[in-house]
Amino acid sequence: MLDKLELPERHYLNNGHGLKSWLLTKDHKRIAIMYLISISAMFMLGGFFAAGVRLELMTPRGDLFLADTYNKFFTMHGIVMVFFFLIPSTPAVLGNFLLPLMIGAKDLAFPRLNLLSLYLFWIGIVFFFYALFSGGIDTGWTFYTPFSAAVSNTNVVPVALGVFIAGFSSILTGLNFIVTIHRMRAPGLTWFRLPLFVWAHYATSLIQVLGTPVIAITIVMLFTERAFGFGIFDPTRGGDPVLFQHLFWFYSHPAVYLMILPAMGVISEVLSTFSRKTIFGYSFVAFSSLAIAVFGFIVWAHHLFVAGISTYSAMVFSFLSFSVAIPSAVKMFNWTATLYKGTISFEAPMLYVYGFFGLFLVGGLTGLFLATLGIDVHVHDTYFVVAHFHYVMVGGAIMGYLGGLHFWWPKITGRMYSEFLSRISAIMVFVGFNLTFFPQFILGYMGMPRRYHAYPDEFQVLNVMSSGGSVVLGIGYLLPVIYFLWSLKHGAVAGPNPWVASGLEWQTASPPPTENFVETPHVHGEPYEYTPHVAREANLV
Amino acid sequence: MSDAVAPAEVHGQAVHHPKLQHHFETMEQQKEASTLGMWVFLLTEVLFFGGLFMAYLLYRVWYFDAFAEASRDLDIQLGTFNTVVLIGSSLTMALGVRAAQTDERKKTVFWLVATIILGLVFLVVKGFEYEHKFAVGHVPGPNFHSDSPYAAQEQIFFSLYFTMTGLHALHMVVGVGLMSVITWMAAKGRFSARYYTPVEMAGLYWHFVDLVWIYLFPLLYLVERHN
Ligand SMILES: [Cu+2]
């Protein structure tokens, strides 16, 4: 890289100025940027609630918050992080920005619908803030009835409406992606030439389109009970609260895959680039994404093992839950095989990939513990479960998201961030994460229940470790904000392809022009055409 | 892995139609995208209503007697009338799409207006049915009134009745609004044999909403009417 690089004269960021040019844009790249800003703000809000929870749990007594306040803190932490950060994170930001670029299209199939999705997301956030400022909500992010329908006197209705509306943002994004992948591919880009990121987003979109409507209607039913006094889940009239749990988890279990699948797509892209090898077992990795999406829909009742379902159905759902491990393991093994004899390097995005491997492995394997009936009865509703899903949703999904953000940041902004700081932050996230959540496995196994603001004295050491770790984790998450913002003005110019990566998105300028490609690309070959000696010649390793 | 072809070559064959959006290459691609998008949307609608059908199925099996009892309180004549009205509106809708395909502007507008009128008739009749339920105290909640021994579980039936038909009626309202816009566009001559996708898509939506009612009618009105 000896030539002096310069930013392109004309690109999507300087094509139009002022607020109006952003709010009325149909450019998928600008919409992705607005999602990025929105969900980053929501991530910080969710982090604030998490900090409150960890602060309270420093001491065994409930001496910081009242029990009611604590209930609101963990509830709003969960709702913000799940519905307003994790679910949109990778698809709405990276997927939105990259899908058209990766398939050589000028935009998504329905650009106006894409903008509408963003507005729906914002309206959902407005409802949430309304609830927040009128006192919050304390039902837990799961909204279980009858507590949410008849007992809680907090703002269930506005939050439920916010989640409902944000859900339609998710549905429409998924719909847009499906149609785009089917109908907008560049000439020559057959299905098996697609980057695995695109496959992963296709599987994600299936979940968004098939699962989200079910939680939407569940919220409608909850709403009719709360607002009009209907009784679909009301046990005093013969309604069944467990039905609510079935319907809720029919979406919310697949929702976990909705978070992890796009992150897995990121992993495939980054991994092949920084090991300079094609992905081992491409078609297995591609189909395992679809398999995860399909299997994900038939395991939901593992959340109900102690809710009174029959032993027979519990056994069936236990078995089915085990089966999801197969496509996940297919991915892990193929990724590991990709590293074998690769020309491996350690740039920040790749550090996040290594972090993902470690954390997703622990999160996935402890999922098998929980799918086992006997163990689940023991650890149900304890910190073991909390640790498990944080390993998957934070350790897995956020590591993938951050890795992807680092990987494509030069494409998005045209500039490089500080390599040194970004490596420090990746390491801090990994260390801080484990320090925060590993003690929670032990706490849960010892029997500490979730969702209480006080606990017996003997749990304090591990809880203090966890709270201390969360500080490290928090700094690890804040650092990128600083060096990313710094890079916007002062970062070195990246050039079209700083990582010498093979995808179509790297063939156009950074930042790309509004129409993405000056000339429509034609695709002739397989994805991930890497040869280690090319890497060496490019002085990358 | 790729090279580039000058845009002129790509566009060479395509005839540029004023309705072709810039990010599509051809009218065919644009139409295929809209059609697939509409079908995927209808799929989400199936799952949206699916949650309610699931709840209906469960409670109908559990509380069959209460469901039969409550179902007899629905007005079967109005329900049948509305079913006929909606099936008729599907016919007029299909004729409207056909007229748009064959470029007959006046006919298109006529059949679309007929569809709107039938849709409104349905909604008005539904409104009278609701009003009657309010009058006799069949709205679940604190004011619910029933003398049958299954009064509690009848409330579940009526909760489902109002949620399902209410959501369906909401879809009808959206449909009537949509149809009004399409009719206005048709009257302005926005469609042609080469470009009538919006009429066709609105038609798909309309047929779907009709189809939901075709299921709702027997499930709610005809639980045990044979004796
Ligand atoms: Cu689950």
How does pLDDT run across A141-170, given as a tens digit for each residue? 999 999 999 889 999 999 999 999 999 999
Give the pLDDT band (50/70/90) at residue B172. Answer: very high
Q: Which helix (H) or strand (E) holds A521?
A: strand A521-523
Among residues B194, B223, B218, B205, the alpha carbon closest in space to that of B102 is found at B194
- The residue among A411, A207, A405 whose CA lies nearest residue A291 is A207
pTM, 2 dp: 0.94
- A492 has pLDDT over 90: yes
Residues of chain A found within 8 Å of residue B6, distances taken between Cβ atoms: 519
* Whole-number pLDDT of residue A540: 52
Q: Is the pLDDT of residue A21 over 90?
A: yes
Q: What was the ipTM of the complex prediction?
A: 0.92
**DSSP secondary structure string, B178-213?**
HHHHHHHHHHTT--BTTB-HHHHHHHHHHHHHHHHH
- Distance (Å, whole) CA A344 – CA A341: 8
What is the structure's pLDDT at B10? Answer: 44
**Burial of A6: CB neighbours in 10 Å, binned 0-12, 13-18, 19+:** exposed
Per DSSP, the three-state class of A523 is strand
Report d(CA A85, CA A47) in Å as an integer.
11
Q: Identify the residue whose tokens are 């077992």.
A: A281
CB count, 10 Å around CB of B134? 10
Signed CA dihedral, A293, A294, A295, A299: sign only = positive
Out of B58, B141, B167, closest to residue A243 by CB: B58
| Residues sharing a CB contact under 8 Å with residue B30, sequence separation 6 or more, in sequence order | B19, B20, B21, B24, B197
Cβ-based neighbours of A243, under 8 Å, separated by 6 or more: A232, A233, B54, B55, B58
Q: Under an 8 A CB cutoff, do B167 and A220 touch? A: yes
For A500: left if phi > 0, alpha if psi spans -120 to 50, otherwise beta; the answer is: left
Distance in angstroms (rounded) separating the CA atoms of residues A469 and A464:
8
Where does residue A169 rank: exposed (0-12), middle (13-18), buried (19+ CB within 10 A)?
A: buried
Backbone angles phi, psi at A516, to 5 degrees: 75, -55
DSSP string, A436-502: HHHHHHHHHHHTPBSS-S---GGGHHHHHHHHHHHHHHHHHHHHHHHHHHHHHHHSPB--S-TT---
**Amino acid A537: pLDDT:** 57
Sign of CA dihedral A236, A240, A242, A247: negative
Give mean pLDDT, residues A95-106.
96
Q: Which among B2, B7, B156 is the nearest to A232, CB-wise?
A: B156
Q: What is the mean pLDDT of residues A437-441?
A: 97
Looking at domain A26-537, its CATH architecture is Up-down Bundle (1.20)
Question: For residue A525, what are the CA distances in angstroms to A15, A278, A505, A516, A530?
Answer: 33, 12, 15, 20, 12
d(CA A110, CA A112): 6
Reply yes or no on whether the pLDDT at A297 is more than 80.
yes
Residue A528, CA distances (Å) to A45, A324, A338, A494, A536 in order: 38, 27, 11, 21, 16
How far from A221 is each of A225, A226, A244, B132, CA to CA, in Å? Answer: 6, 9, 9, 23
Q: Is the pLDDT of residue B13 over 80?
A: no
Amino acid at A105: A
**Whole-number Å distance between alpha carbons of A267 and A295:** 21
H or E element, residue A519: none
Residue A90: CB atoms within 10 A of its CB come to: 33
Q: How high is the pLDDT of residue B59?
A: 96
| Cα(A297) to centroid(ligand 1), Å | 10
Number of other residues whose CB lies within 10 A of the CB of residue B103: 13
Determine whether the interchain pair B163/A232 forms a contact, defined as Cβ–Cβ distance below 8 Å: yes
Provide CB contacts within 8 A for A230, sequence distance 6+. A221, A224, B140, B141, B155, B159, B162, B163
pLDDT tens per residue across span A385-430? 999 999 999 999 999 999 999 999 999 999 999 999 999 999 999 9
Q: What is the SS3 assignment for A66?
A: coil
Reference A515, options A115, A5, A100, A177; nearest CA is A100
Select from B45, B63, B139 the Cβ nearest to the Cβ of A238: B63
Q: What is the mean pLDDT of residues A296-310?
A: 93
Q: B89 falls in which pLDDT band (50, 70, 90)?
A: very high
pLDDT band at B11 (very low <50, low <70, confident <90, very high): very low
Q: Do B2 and A521 touch (CB under 8 A)?
A: yes
Q: What percent of chain A has pLDDT over 70?
A: 97
For the beta carbon of residue A311, count every other beta carbon within 10 angstroms: 9
**Ligand 1 centre and the CA of A338: distance in Å?**
29
Question: Which single residue is written with the structure tokens 């094509």?
Answer: A15
Tens of pLDDT along A240-279?
A: 999 999 999 999 999 999 999 999 999 999 999 999 999 9
Q: What is the arithmetic mean of pLDDT over A286-309? A: 94
Percent of chain A with pLDDT over 90: 90
- The contacts of residue A377 (CB under 8 Å, 6+ apart) are A305, A306
Instruction: Collect residues with CB below 5 Å from ion ligand 1.
Output: A 253
3-state helix, strand, coil in chain A (%, to 5): 70, 0, 30
Residue A211: closest C-alpha in chain B: B47
- A204: nearest Cα among A246, A180, A173, A183: A173
Amino acid identity for residue B101 in this structure:
Q
Query: Per-residue pLDDT for B1 more than 60?
Result: no
User: How far, in Å, CA of A509 to CA of B104, rounded?
Assistant: 48
Torsion of CA A287, A290, A292, A297, to 10 degrees: -150
Mean pLDDT of A502-529: 90
Picking from A212, A243, A520, the nearest residue to B55 by CB comes out as A243
> Which of A230, A231, A502 is facing B1, going by the closest CB pair?
A502
DSSP A141-152: TTT-TTIIIII-
Cα distance between residue A126 and residue B214, in whole Å? 37
**Chain A CB contacts of B49 below 8 Å:** 217
Banded model confidence at residue A541, pLDDT cuts 50, 70, 90:
very low
- Residue A328: CB atoms within 10 A of its CB come to 24
Angle between helices A419-446 and A460-490 (to 10 degrees): 160
Confidence at B142, pLDDT banded by 50, 70, 90 = confident
pLDDT of res. A536: 53
3-state SS class at A382: strand
In chain A, what residues touch B160 (CB-CB under 8 Å)? 232
- The mean predicted confidence, pLDDT, of chain A is 93
The answer, yes or no, to whether residue B148 has pLDDT greater than 90, is: no
In the DSSP assignment, the letter for residue A208 is H
**Model pLDDT for residues A306-335, shown as the tens digit of each residue:** 998 999 999 999 999 999 999 999 999 999
In the reported structure, the alpha carbon of residue B58 is separated from the centroid of ligand 1 by a whole-number distance in angstroms of 23
For residue A325, the model assigns a pLDDT of 92
**CA-based radius of gyration for chain B:** 23
How many CA atoms within 13 Å lie on the side-chain side of A53?
Answer: 21
Test the A interface: residue of B9, B159, B170, B174 with most A CBs within 10 Å: B159
pLDDT at B123: 97
Q: Which of A217, A252, A523 is most worth mutating to test chain B (most B CB atoms within 10 A of its CB)?
A: A217
- The count of C-alpha atoms lying within 13 angstroms of the C-alpha of A81, restricted to the half-sphere facing its C-beta, is 22
B166 HSE (CA, 13 A, CB side): 16
Closest by CA position to A437, among listed A399, A383, A378, A475: A383
Helix (H) or strand (E) holding A522: strand A521-523
Domains recognised in chain B with CATH numbers: 27-221 (1.20.120.80)
Phi (first) and psi of residue A500, to 5 degrees: 50, 50
Q: What was the pLDDT predicted at A6?
A: 85
Give the mean model confidence (pLDDT) for residues B178-205.
94
Please name the amino acid found at residue A115: L
pLDDT band at A179 (very low <50, low <70, confident <90, very high): very high
